[in-house]
Chain A
Amino acid sequence: MQYLLLIYDDEKKFGALSEAEQGRVFGEYMEFTREIVKSGNHRGGEALQPVAAATCVRHKNGKTLTTDGPYAETKEQLGGYYLVEARDLDEAVAIAGRIPSVRLGGTIEVRPIMPTPQP
Chain B
Amino acid sequence: MNLHEREVEDLYRRDYGRILATLIRLVGDFDAAEDGLQDAFATALVRWRADGMPQNPSSWIISTARHKAIDRLRRRTWLERRRDEIERHLRALQTADEGPVAEDRLRLAFTCCHPTLALETRVALTLRTLCGLTTEEIARAFLLPVPTLAQRLVRAKAKIRDAGIPYRVPPDDVLPERLDAVMAVVYLVFNEGYSASFGDRIVREDLCGEAIRLGRMLVELMPARREPRGLLALMLLHDARRATRVDEAGRLLTLEQQDRTRWDRGRIAEGAALVEDVLRGGPPSAYAVQAAIAALHCLAPAAADTDWRQIAGLYEVLLRIEPSPVVELNRAAAVAMADGVERGLELIDRLDGRPELARYHLLPAARADLLRRAGRRAEAAQAYRCALELVTNQAERRYLEARLAEVATDVCG
List the B residue with the shortest CB-CB distance to A118: B81
Tell me if B164 and A88 are in contact (CB < 8 A): yes
State which of B114, B163, B170 has its C-beta within 8 Å of the C-beta of A112: B163
- In whole angstroms, how far apart are the Cα atoms of A44 and B116 in the complex? 24
Tell me if A92 and B164 are in contact (CB < 8 A): yes
Q: A112-B163, A117-B81 provided; 6 other pairs, C-beta below 8 A?
A: A3-B164, A88-B164, A89-B116, A90-B174, A112-B162, A116-B83
Tell me if A115 and B83 are in contact (CB < 8 A): yes
Minimum CB–CB distance for A12 against chain B, Å? 28
Tell me if B163 and A115 are in contact (CB < 8 A): no
Q: List 17 A-B contacts (CB under 8 A).
A: A1-B164, A87-B166, A88-B165, A89-B114, A89-B165, A89-B166, A90-B165, A90-B174, A93-B116, A112-B162, A112-B163, A112-B164, A115-B83, A115-B84, A117-B80, A117-B81, A118-B81
- In whole angstroms, how far apart are the Cα atoms of A92 and B162 in the complex? 13
Tell me if A90 and B163 are in contact (CB < 8 A): no
Tell me if A118 and B170 are in contact (CB < 8 A): no
Minimum CB–CB distance for B367 against chain A, Å? 40
List the B residue with the shortest CB-CB distance to A87: B166
The 0/1 profile, CB within 8 Å of A marked 1, for residues 155-196 of chain B is: 000000011111000100010000000000000000000000
What residues of chain A lie closer than 8 Å to B83, measured between beta carbons? 115-116, 118
State which of A87, A89, A116, A118 has its C-beta within 8 Å of the C-beta of B163: A89
What residues of chain A lie closer than 8 Å to B86, measured between beta carbons? 118
What residues of chain B lie closer than 8 Å to A87, measured between beta carbons? 166
- In whole angstroms, how far apart are the Cα atoms of A1 and B82 in the complex? 12
Total count of chain B residues near the partner, CB < 8 A: 16
State which of B81, B84, B162, B166 has its C-beta within 8 Å of the C-beta of A90: B166
State which of B82, B116, B166 has its C-beta within 8 Å of the C-beta of A117: B82
State which of A86, A112, A115 has its C-beta within 8 Å of the C-beta of B82: A115
Tell me if A88 and B82 are in contact (CB < 8 A): no
Determine which residue in B114, B164, B165, B166 has the highest number of CB atoms from chain A within 10 A of its CB, and name it: B164
The 0/1 profile, CB within 8 Å of A marked 1, for residues 59-82 of chain B is: 000000000000000000000111
- In whole angstroms, how far apart are the Cα atoms of A115 and B166 in the complex? 17
How many residue pairs link A and B with beta carbons under 8 A? The number is: 37
Classify chain A: how many residues form its interface, as a range.
10 to 19
List the A residue with the shortest CB-CB distance to B77: A118
Minimum CB–CB distance for B110 against chain A, Å? 10
The 0/1 profile, CB within 8 Å of A marked 1, for residues 78-104 of chain B is: 001111111000000000000000000
The 0/1 profile, CB within 8 Å of A marked 1, for residues 380-395 of chain B is: 0000000000000000
What residues of chain B lie closer than 8 Å to A1, measured between beta carbons? 84, 164
What residues of chain B lie closer than 8 Å to A116, measured between beta carbons? 82-83
List the B residue with the shortest CB-CB distance to A86: B164
What residues of chain B lie closer than 8 Å to A92, measured between beta carbons? 164
The 0/1 profile, CB within 8 Å of B marked 1, for residues 67-111 of chain A is: 000000000000000000011111011000000000000000010
The 0/1 profile, CB within 8 Å of A marked 1, for residues 103-118 of chain B is: 0000000000010100
Minimum CB–CB distance for A93 against chain B, Å? 8
State which of B81, B164, B174 has its C-beta within 8 Å of the C-beta of A89: B164
What residues of chain B lie closer than 8 Å to A115, measured between beta carbons? 82-85
Complex A-B, nearest 8 residue pairs according to Cβ-Cβ distance, in ascending order? A88-B166, A1-B164, A88-B164, A118-B81, A89-B164, A115-B82, A117-B81, A115-B84
What residues of chain A lie closer than 8 Å to B116, measured between beta carbons? 89, 93
- In whole angstroms, how far apart are the Cα atoms of A93 and B165 in the complex? 10
What residues of chain A lie closer than 8 Å to B165, measured between beta carbons? 88-90
Minimum CB–CB distance for A88 against chain B, Å? 4
- In whole angstroms, how far apart are the Cα atoms of A3 and B86 in the complex? 19
- In whole angstroms, how far apart are the Cα atoms of A117 and B85 in the complex? 10
What residues of chain B lie closer than 8 Å to A89, measured between beta carbons? 114, 116, 163-166
- In whole angstroms, how far apart are the Cα atoms of A44 and B409 in the complex? 76
Minimum CB–CB distance for B171 against chain A, Å? 8
List the B residue with the shortest CB-CB distance to A93: B116
List the B residue with the shortest CB-CB distance to A111: B163
- In whole angstroms, how far apart are the Cα atoms of A61 and B238 in the complex? 65
- In whole angstroms, how far apart are the Cα atoms of A89 and B111 in the complex? 11
What residues of chain B lie closer than 8 Å to A110, measured between beta carbons? 163
Determine which residue in A86, A92, A93 has the highest number of CB atoms from chain B within 10 A of its CB, and name it: A93
List the A residue with the shortest CB-CB distance to B80: A117
What residues of chain B lie closer than 8 Å to A88, measured between beta carbons? 164-166
- In whole angstroms, how far apart are the Cα atoms of A115 and B82 in the complex? 6
Determine which residue in B80, B82, B163, B170 has the highest number of CB atoms from chain A within 10 A of its CB, and name it: B163
List the A residue with the shortest CB-CB distance to B160: A89
What residues of chain A lie closer than 8 Å to B170, measured between beta carbons? 90
Minimum CB–CB distance for B6 against chain A, Å? 41
